[in-house]
Amino acid sequence: MTDTPLTLDAELLMALATARTGGHTNFGDPSFRPALDCMLKSIREEANMSPMGQIIFAHRVLESLSNRLTLEDYCTRHPEILSEEIKSPVLIIGLPRTGTTMLHRVLARDPRFYNMAWWEARFPSPLSAEDVVNPQLRIAAGRAEVKAMIEAIPELLAIHPLDAELPDEEVLLLEHAFMSAIDAYGNVPGYADWLFQQDQTPAYLYLKRQLQFLQWQKRQRGITADRWLLKSPHHTHLMPTLFKVFPDAHVIQTHRDPLQTIPSMGSFAYTLWRLFSDQADPVQAGRHWAAKFAGGLRNSMQFRDTQPADRFMDVWYLDAVARSMDVVERIYPFIGMELNDSTREAMQAWLAQSDREGRPAHQYSMDRMGLTEEQLKLDFAQYRERFVLPHLQASNL
């Protein structure tokens, strides 16, 4: 079985995951299976992945299936995992390219927050040859994967500061439910349309289950905190589901003009598509992600109007970048915490040394992504009227 060639076949990949994990067969909540089948069908038929891209993606699916098996085995042997409380998480959401990563990593300097490094999001379950106390194999796997991605497409670093050991997005955990931003890896309109019509509550319940497992692992390593600090633009599309599963969440939403962010996001997606396909189309990437976030923002605004205002805090991109600590000082009263001097100093030190770390500027153009200013203004009219234009008018006073 270990020498079986990897293909994008669900039964084969599940069998390989069972073999890899020593015979485990319990994948947990079976709701993952229709999502897996639809995703693989779309990848095979629509994504135009290269032979190597298909193998890389199949490995990624195999890892997710193996992680599911290992998680369920741990939960069977340690039922206390599912008693871990995920209390009042703080979530940073907003359009991509609005400073969410920077703000996330600044706030993560506070040891009272649980957060997950990139390697934890990619490999949330211990590998077969390690235990929860010493995750060095997973850290090494994360480092190797990040290194390979950067070597394959160096411009990735200009778009997103990939680092296996820095906090990153829980959208990677959602991949284990196969209801996630798979369209970041290829052009999969069939899967994207199917996913839009699904109740994604099972994916968010599985996200919570994974957070419980990660929190339990951290506590076995002597790491304790008060609450989770999470971050993902993906939640913008699913705010009702997010609050259904995490009803005591506090949301920090970052804002920036879509005329600046959407072409950049399209370029980011196109760059990732190129990891898997020799036929990636920047126009398809740009238009798909523009339409996706236009709909997501409309839905999130409608949901916000039904909720207490004190569950949300708005942050303007330029404030987050140019006046980071001022924004941080406003965040702490919003989340009901005090910012102490030692944490403030740790944040200031991180800001001083990060400063984009000499990374080159992200080069992209609206035209190449198949976008126009007129269409973006039309698609994002409600969002721009509510959040962007008032800020721009105030800035020009």
What pLDDT sits at residue 154?
Answer: 83
Tokens representing residue 74 in the block: 């741990």
Q: How confident is the model at residue 253 (pLDDT cuts 50, 70, 90)?
A: very high
Q: CA-to-CA distance for 355 and 349, rounded, in angstroms?
A: 11
Phi first, then psi: give them for residue 250, nearest 5 degrees: -115, 130
88 conformational bin, left if phi > 0, alpha if psi -120 to 50, beta if neither:
left
What pLDDT sits at residue 131?
Answer: 87
Q: Cβ–Cβ contacts within 10 Å for residue 318, how many?
A: 13
What pLDDT sits at residue 192?
Answer: 96
CA 84 to chain centre: 22
Q: What angle do CA 112, 344, 88 make, to 5 degrees?
A: 30
All domains in the chain, ordered by first residue: 10-395 (3.40.50.300)
Asked whether the predicted pLDDT for residue 4 surpasses 80, the reply is: no
Asked whether the predicted pLDDT for residue 105 surpasses 70, the reply is: yes
Q: What angle do CA 174, 180, 182 make, to 5 degrees?
A: 130
The contacts of residue 145 (CB under 8 Å, 6+ apart) are 122, 164
Q: How confident is the model at residue 159 (pLDDT cuts 50, 70, 90)?
A: confident
Q: CA-to-CA distance for 55 and 49, rounded, in angstroms?
A: 9
- State the average pLDDT for the chain: 93
Handedness of CA 301, 191, 123, 262 (dihedral sign): negative
The contacts of residue 282 (CB under 8 Å, 6+ apart) are 266, 267, 270, 368, 369, 370
What pLDDT sits at residue 355?
Answer: 60
What pLDDT sits at residue 365?
Answer: 83
Phi first, then psi: give them for residue 4, nearest 5 degrees: -65, 130
What pLDDT sits at residue 3?
Answer: 61
What pLDDT sits at residue 364?
Answer: 74
Give the burial string for 252-277 (b: 16+ CB within 10 Å, else e): bbbbbbbeebbbbbbbbbbbbbbbbb
Q: CA-to-CA distance for 60 and 271, rounded, in angstroms?
A: 18
> Are 81 and 216 spatial neighbours (Cβ–Cβ below 8 Å)?
yes
CA-based nearest residue to 36, from 202, 184, 175? 175
Asked whether the predicted pLDDT for residue 149 surpasses 70, the reply is: yes
Mean pLDDT confidence for 38-56: 96
pLDDT tens digits, one per residue of 322-381:
899 999 999 999 999 999 999 999 999 999 987 645 555 666 788 999 999 999 999 999
Q: How confident is the model at residue 227 (pLDDT cuts 50, 70, 90)?
A: very high
Q: How confident is the model at residue 202 (pLDDT cuts 50, 70, 90)?
A: very high
β-strand 227-231 against 250-255: which pairing, if any?
unpaired
What pLDDT sits at residue 165?
Answer: 95
Q: CA-to-CA distance for 6 and 139, rounded, in angstroms?
A: 24
How far is the first Cα of the chain from the last one, in angstroms, to the nearest whole number? 68
pTM score of the predicted model: 0.94
Asked whether the predicted pLDDT for residue 392 surpasses 90, the reply is: no
Q: Cβ–Cβ contacts within 10 Å for residue 383, how many?
A: 21
What pLDDT sits at residue 389?
Answer: 83
Mean pLDDT confidence for 39-67: 96
Asked whether the predicted pLDDT for residue 83 surpasses 90, the reply is: yes
CA-based nearest residue to 64, from 122, 142, 128? 122
Q: How confident is the model at residue 382 (pLDDT cuts 50, 70, 90)?
A: very high
Give the range among 54-63, 99-108, 273-282, 386-395 with minimum mean pLDDT. Answer: 386-395
Q: CA-to-CA distance for 361 and 375, rounded, in angstroms?
A: 25
Q: What angle do CA 73, 83, 67 make, to 5 degrees?
A: 30
> Are 219 and 346 spatial neighbours (Cβ–Cβ below 8 Å)?
no
Residue 312's DSSP bridge partners are: 251
Q: Cβ–Cβ contacts within 10 Å for residue 36, how many?
A: 20
Asked whether the predicted pLDDT for residue 278 surpasses 60, the reply is: yes
Q: CA-to-CA distance for 305 and 328, rounded, in angstroms?
A: 25
Mean pLDDT confidence for 50-70: 96
Mean pLDDT confidence for 14-36: 97
β-strand 113-114 against 250-255: which pairing, if any?
unpaired
What pLDDT sits at residue 396?
Answer: 59
> Are 149 and 101 spatial neighbours (Cβ–Cβ below 8 Å)?
no
Asked whether the predicted pLDDT for residue 390 surpasses 90, the reply is: no
Tokens representing residue 358 in the block: 């000499």
What pLDDT sits at residue 394?
Answer: 66
What pLDDT sits at residue 251?
Answer: 98
